[in-house]
Amino acid sequence: MKILPLVYNNRFYVLISSIAVLIYLCIFEYLWAEDVPPNSPMIIVSSYFHYISDSTIGFQAVGFSKCRNRPESWALLLGERRYPISLEYLQFACPNSMGCIWVDYRLTAELPFDVDLNQPTVLVRDDSETKIEITASQPQKRTKGLDICVAPIYYYNFWVRIVEFVELYRQQGASHIYIYVSSASKLVDDMLKIYEKQGLVTVVRWPELPKVDGTTESVFRLGQHAAMLDCLMRSKGRYVATVDMDDYIFTRHQNLVEYLEDEERKNPNIGSFEFHMVHVAQEPREANLTDWRSIDFSGLLQGDMCDKCYGNFKAIHIANRPVFVGPHNAGRYYRRPGFLGALGWQYEEFLVPKSVGVSHHPRYAARRHELDFKGVQPFLSKEMVNGISRKFTSVMEEFSKTHPNLTAPPVAERMMGCNPFNPNACQVPYVTCRNEMRNVDHWIFANESSHLLVL
Ligand SMILES: *[C@@H]1O[C@H](CO)[C@@H](O)[C@H](O)[C@H]1NC(C)=O
Ligand SMILES: *[C@@H]1O[C@H](CO)[C@@H](O)[C@H](O)[C@H]1NC(C)=O
Ligand SMILES: *[C@@H]1O[C@H](CO)[C@@H](O)[C@H](O)[C@H]1NC(C)=O
């Protein structure tokens, strides 16, 4: 008789708490529906099949998205088979640490090595299916060559440096150079076309994103993380450098490619070679470059260097090893093959000793008074500088015939004014510099966006 009220009570509490849970769920659902809007559209720039290991092929799509707050399910449909897809932000968080609300991301799936890649490829998101074109398929391991990837340039007009940069890496044994171009002066654009015609350079047109939600301008530096991942996937070399137009990686006593091959042989765990960045101050060389025969490269023989003021690195990656890359290093590495399988060690970074090679950062806009320059030190070798000069002369003999006005109006200071680096602000040059830069030079914008898929 004493137990009954208790059971009764328990039933009562169960009832009350069930009702409470129900009410809570209704409120939660209501709040969820109110506060979390449907995920906004996303943009896919390119997609790839790539080698991961002898038993796994990767699928990867690179793109941009506003932060995705609602759960959604993704899959890749390849013929009849369905593979789960995961989404990862390339700057680790959305919004990223600088507050950009559009961020670079990748969609990835892993496929068995014997999958037939020559079938229609379909992306499935929740209930909707979209057929996609594969930009490039490279399921085989990459075995040789060094490719150079240059992050998107914008409002770039120092055409002399195109020759300097390309010839510097050509001499060091680069197989191919991919230059991502968002906007450049007519002279730079035409100079790039010469190198494209030679077959050494591929210009990847990297357009401003279409206005989706009216907010796509909020992508950090035109999406340099996505561009570098795109280049890692697109390029064909075993080694891939991810640099800017003012990063001159240079090994002192041995050819760069031979050095990479030798070091990899000694240490098969290397995922990326990290080169210390060293600032090199240079005198401004912009403005009136009409008398091109008077342009000389002897300033590259030595430079006023500051090797303590920038504790950062530029990387050359072994192509199939990083999962994704950023401007200075890999985001993550795949695991090395071995008996531990999924529990095994990852590939790792290798710090290149400064005595072997560094990444020079020659800047004419360097603010000497703000940096601790150490005084003049040797920079490029005489052979290298002479080689650059000779190539420059032969290119310019033709180029100057069709380009009588070789002026490059100064832009570096203006760009530092309207586009300063600030760790707490999303850098969006086309918003903050458009008016400032509009009439400074004859700009060509990458504006072809038919390959972009808005989902
Ligand atoms: C540029 O320099 C050349 C010779 O070096 C000179 O003849 C020309 O007038 C200059 N042009 C401008 C716009 O200053
Ligand atoms: C040469 O080009 C610059 C910049 O594009 C321009 O400001 C200048 O007026 C041009 N000079 C001549 C002589 O056309
Ligand atoms: C794209 O750029 C090219 C070269 O600057 C220009 O001729 C063309 O009109 C532009 N197209 C659009 C749609 O803006």
Q: What's the chain's Rg over C-alpha atoms?
A: 26
Predicted local confidence at residue 233, as pLDDT:
97
How far apart (Å, rounded) are the C-alpha atoms in residues 96 and 79?
36
Q: Would you state the pLDDT for residue 16?
A: 60
Distance 418 CA to ligand 2 centre (A): 23
Task: Give the tokens for residue 338.
Answer: 């071995």
Q: Is 264 exposed, middle or buried (0-12, 13-18, 19+ CB in 10 A)?
A: middle
Ligand 2 near 409 CB (within 6 A)? yes
441 CB near ligand 2 (under 6 Å): yes
Cα 405 to middle of ligand 2, angstroms: 6
Minimum CA distance residue for ligand 3 atom 10: 447
- Read off the pLDDT of residues 306-331 as tens digits, 9 standing for 90 and up: 766 667 899 999 999 999 998 899 98
Q: What is the Cα–Cα distance from 266 to 272, expressed in whole angstroms?
A: 14
Residue 42 token pair:
């996303």
Higher pLDDT, 372 or 142: 142
What pLDDT, on a 0 to 100 scale, did the predictor assign at position 279? 84
Provide the pLDDT confidence category of residue 3 given band limits of 50, 70 and 90: very low
Question: Model pTM?
Answer: 0.89
Structure tokens given for 455: 């989902």
108 membership: H or E segment, kind and range: strand 102-112
Report how far residue 399's alpha carbon sits from residue 406's, in angstroms, rounded to the nearest whole number.
10
Alpha-carbon dihedral angle through residues 106, 450, 454, 49, given to the nearest 10 degrees: -30
What average pLDDT does the chain have? 87
Q: What is the spatial distance between Cα 314 and Cα 233, in angstroms, rounded to a whole number?
A: 18
CA of 444, closest atom in ligand 3: 5
Q: Tell me the CA–centroid distance for residue 290 and ligand 1, in Å.
A: 6
- State the pLDDT at residue 249: 96
- Asked if pLDDT for residue 132 goes beyond 80, the answer is yes
Q: Which atom of ligand 1 lies nearest, measured to the CA of 291?
A: 5
Q: Best of 182, 447, 449 to mutate for ligand 3, by most ligand atoms within 8 A of CB?
A: 447
Distance CA 294, CA 287 (A): 13
Ligand 2, atom nearest to 186 Cα:
5
Greater confidence (149 vs 420) lies with 149
Mean pLDDT check: name the lowest of 150-154, 285-289, 401-405: 285-289
User: What residues pair up with 82 in beta bridges, in sequence order?
Assistant: 77
How far is ligand 2, taken at its centre, from the CA of residue 394, in Å? Answer: 24
For residues 369-382, give the mean pLDDT: 77
| Ligand 3: centre distance to CA 447 (Å) | 6
Give the span between the Cα atoms of 290 and 51, in whole angstroms. 48
How is 50-65 classified by DSSP, letter by letter?
EEEETTEEEEEEEEEE
258 Cβ contact partners less than 8 Å away, ≥ 6 residues apart? 173
**Is the predicted pLDDT of residue 280 greater than 60, yes or no?**
yes
Tens of pLDDT, residues 202-238: 999 999 888 887 766 677 778 899 999 999 999 999 9
Residue 404 has pLDDT above 70, yes or no: yes
The whole-number pLDDT of residue 368 equals: 58
Please name the residue whose Cα sits nearest to atom 13 of ligand 1: 288
Identity of the amino acid at 40: S
Measured from the Cβ of residue 101, the count of other Cβ atoms closer than 10 Å reads 17
Ligand 1 atom, smallest distance to 407 CA = 13
Comparing 289 with 20, the larger pLDDT belongs to 289
Residues 372 and 267: their CA atoms lie apart, in Å, by 35
Say yes or no to pLDDT of 438 above 60. yes
Ligand nearest to the CA of residue 210, numbered in listed order: 3
Closest listed residue to residue 263, CA positions, set 323, 352, 328, 338: 352
Whose C-alpha lies nearest to ligand 1, atom 14? Answer: 288
Which pLDDT score is estimated for 1?
Answer: 38
Reported as a pLDDT band with limits 50, 70 and 90, residue 283 is low
With CA atoms as reference, report the closest residue to 91 among 106, 103, 99. Answer: 103
Q: Is the pLDDT of residue 375 over 70?
A: yes
pLDDT of the residue at 7: 40
| Selection from 12-16, 371-375, 402-406 with the highest mean pLDDT | 402-406
Distance, CA of 326 to CA of 231 (rounded, Å): 11
Bigger pLDDT: 67 vs 15: 67
Mutate-to-test residue for ligand 2 from 403, 405, 411, highest number of ligand atoms within 8 A of CB: 405
HSE-up of 409 (CA within 13 Å, CB side)?
Answer: 14
Q: Separation of 445 CA from ligand 3 center, angstroms?
A: 7
User: By alpha-carbon position, which residue is closest to atom 14 of ligand 3?
Assistant: 447
Q: Residue 334 and residue 364: Cα distance in Å, rounded?
A: 38
Q: What is the pLDDT of residues 239-279, one digit of tens each?
A: 999 999 999 999 989 999 999 999 999 999 999 999 999 88
pLDDT surpassing 90 at residue 39? no
Q: Concatenated DSSP letters for 347-409?
A: PEEEEPPTTTEEEEEEETT--GGGS----EEE-S-HHHHHHHHHHHHHHHHHHHHH-----B-
How many angstroms does the Cα of residue 407 sit away from the middle of ligand 1? 9
State whether the beta carbon of 312 lies less than 6 angstroms from ligand 2.
no
Residue 298 CB less than 6 A away from ligand 1: no
Residue ranges lining ligand 3, Cβ < 6 Å:
444, 447
Q: How many angstroms separate the alpha carbon of residue 410 from the centre of ligand 2?
A: 12
Integer Cα distance of 301 and 296 in angstroms: 11
Residue nearest atom 6 of ligand 1, based on CA coordinates: 290
Q: Is 291 in the pocket of ligand 1 (CB under 6 A)?
A: yes
pLDDT score, position 5: 42
pLDDT of the residue at 225 = 93
187 alpha carbon, closest ligand: 2
**Could you report the per-residue pLDDT of 167-189, keeping only the tens digit for each?**
999 999 999 999 999 999 999 99
Residue 230: CB within 6 Å of ligand 2? no
CA separation for the pair 85, 80 (Å, rounded)? 16
Instruction: Determine the atom of ligand 1 nearest the C-alpha atom of 288.
Output: 1
Please tell me the residue having the least CA distance from ligand 2 atom 13.
Answer: 405
Atom of ligand 2 nearest to the CA of 185: 5
pLDDT for res 34 = 54
Give the residues across from 255 on adjacent strands.
none
Q: Is the CB of 405 under 6 A from ligand 1?
A: no
Task: Give 293's DSSP letter.
Answer: G
CA 67 – CA 37 distance, rounded (Å) = 11
Please check the confidence at residue 6 and state whether its pLDDT lies above 50. Answer: no
Nearest to 280 by CA among 359, 203, 351: 359
Top mean-pLDDT range of 5-9, 86-90, 393-397: 393-397
Q: What is the DSSP letter of 346?
A: B
C-alpha span between 434 and 415 (Å, rounded): 10
* 76-125 confidence digits (pLDDT tens): 999 889 999 999 999 888 888 888 888 899 999 999 999 999 999 999 99
Q: What is the pLDDT of residues 41-54, one digit of tens each?
A: 899 999 999 999 99
For residues 297 and 363, the model is more confident at 297
Residue 413 CA to residue 47 CA, distance in Å, equals 37
Task: Note the pLDDT of residue 184.
Answer: 97
Q: What pLDDT is attached to residue 8? A: 42
Q: What is the spatial distance between Cα 118 and Cα 235, in angstroms, rounded to a whole number?
A: 20
What is the model's pLDDT at position 364?
Answer: 59
